[in-house]
Amino acid sequence: MDKNSTSEHLNNELRQKILKLTASQRKFEELFDLLPQIVVETDLKGNLTYANNKENGQTNGLRSIIVDITERKKKELVKEVLIEKLQKAISEIKTLRGIIPICSHCKKIRDDKGYYQQVETYVSRHTEAEFSHGLCPECEKKYYPKYYARQKK
């Protein structure tokens, strides 16, 4: 090879390496612009660099993207706790669906076998609800007028 062809060959190699480096730098800058996190590029010794340098086919630098995922992990933990609570709540729920046959006079409910039961008995057997009893003001006045009158004084 003569001096001109060697020089031309070296110039071509240099141009190709510059093009690759430019393309790499452009990709790095595009990535850097897209991410709100810290983007760091170092060599193997830990020195800060800004190019993806290669010599003899081996990388002599590292490019790292450091992303703080603390907030994401907190949200995931909250989500997991909520999912567990919802699953527990769903497992505890028994629902009544459809048409429930009820006596229009005494308000007893007919079960699947045709027997009538008090509302409390039926609901307790078909759900996990419990009842406590009391009197509404109208029934108190109607069925216990003396007591109702004393309370109003």
Query: Does 87 reside within a domain?
Result: no
Global pTM value: 0.33
HSE-CB at 13 with a 13 A cutoff on CA atoms is: 7
Strand 116-117 and strand 58-59: pairing? unpaired
Q: CA-to-CA distance for 21 and 34, rounded, in angstroms?
A: 20
Q: Which of 29-33, 56-60, 67-71, 143-147 is the least confident region?
A: 56-60
Token output for 145: 């007028």
Q: DSSP letter for 102, please.
A: B
Q: Residue 53 above 90 pLDDT?
A: no
Query: How many structural domains comprise the chain?
Result: 2
Q: Is residue 45 part of a domain?
A: yes
Q: Give residue-wise pLDDT tens across range 74-132.
A: 999 999 999 999 988 887 776 777 788 888 888 898 888 899 999 888 888 878 788 88
Can you spell out the DSSP letters for 10-29?
HHHHHHHHHHHHHHHHHHHH
Pair 65, 97 in one domain = no
Do the domain assignments include residue 111?
yes
Q: Are residues 146 and 107 in the same domain?
A: yes
64/8 same-domain check:
yes
In a domain, 78, yes or no: no
80 found inside a domain? no
Element (H, E) at 54: strand 54-55
For the chain, what percent of residues have pLDDT higher than 90? 10
The CA distance from 37 to 6, in Å, is 45
| Domain encompassing residue 38 | 3-69
Q: What pLDDT does 84 receive?
A: 92
Distance separating alpha carbons of residues 130 and 128, to the nearest angstrom: 7
